[in-house]
Amino acid sequence: MTKRSPMDDVVFRALSDPTRRRILDLLRERPRTTGELTEQFEQSRFGVMKHLGVLEEAQLITVRREGRRRFNHLNAVPLREIYERWLGRYQEFWSTSLLRLRDSLGSAAEQHTEHPMSSFHSFEINQQIDFDASPEAVWNALTSDIHNWWAYRVGDTADAKVSLDARLDGVFEERWGDGDGVIWGRVVDVRRGKRLRLKGSLGMSGAGSNDYMYELEAIGDNKTRLTLTHHAIGYKDAETAQNYEKGWQGLFAHLTAWLADGTVAEPMLAGKE
């Protein structure tokens, strides 16, 4: 029987209202200010703020302030956690197959439609997740233990291994074979146990550039909140943001499992599903 957590009730309550679901749909497209969201509804700014408060309590959104402006970002991690806990693996085959069928039908309908040339895109991803572990334990997992939960590999061999040197100008790298490898990023800002910021390719080829940062905050006894901020620029494919969003969700699911019971993630080698 699936075990229900107290946080599930908060998330389900947040999702029960059609206005809040519409807000999440809007934020799925891009981050928006509170004023921009208010323009989409026939209710007062105060009413929209109340809905945003419920979504923030459920950790379905994160908030970043720039001066007097409040930017609201979708945080899809709780949705993924509920999906994995409640739908179960036995539904994965059918749901994935139906989605692929839908996408195939959509692609067929667009075969005769001309598309403009891709332009370069930039995006920002914000995600937030809470762990039942101390900031020190989460920090160690993010750095010295990264090989155990960072599932993605650029190398296509079983001996590909990732490591992260959490010092200024330290390297986040993957090595395999006889001296082969790739640098995923370099540390440009480190506040041990609190903040780690890197810049680099993040495993992607091409001209894209990534700037990504983890921030840790103690929120109770043996409980830590991790906030991810990921800025990217220079990608030709507009779907890259969605791919990264899903990728981070998957990585944080592996990180949660590693912190909870030491489950080591199965490496996902390049070119293999």
The reported pTM is 0.63
Q: Sheet of 180-191: strands edge to edge?
A: 121-131, 223-235, 209-220, 195-200, 180-191, 171-176, 161-164
The dihedral sign for the CA sequence 80, 81, 87, 89: positive
Residue 206: predicted pLDDT = 60
Q: Where are the alpha helices (DSSP H) in 123-261?
A: 135-142, 240-261
More confident residue, 42 or 146: 146
3-state helix, strand, coil in the chain (%, to 5): 40, 30, 35
18-29 and 45-57 helices cross at what angle (nearest 10)?
80
Q: So where are the chain's domains?
A: 7-78, 118-261
Average pLDDT of the segment spanning 17-38: 91
Structure token pair of residue 68: 């007097």
What's the mean per-residue pLDDT of the chain?
83
**Residue 151: is its pLDDT beyond 80?**
yes
200 pLDDT band, cuts 50/70/90, is very high
Q: In 3D, which of 226, 231, 162 has the Cα closest to residue 195?
A: 226
Question: What is the dotted CATH code of the domain comprising 7-78?
Answer: 1.10.10.10
More confident residue, 20 or 92: 20
Average pLDDT of the segment spanning 87-110: 50
State in words which class domain 118-261 has. alpha beta
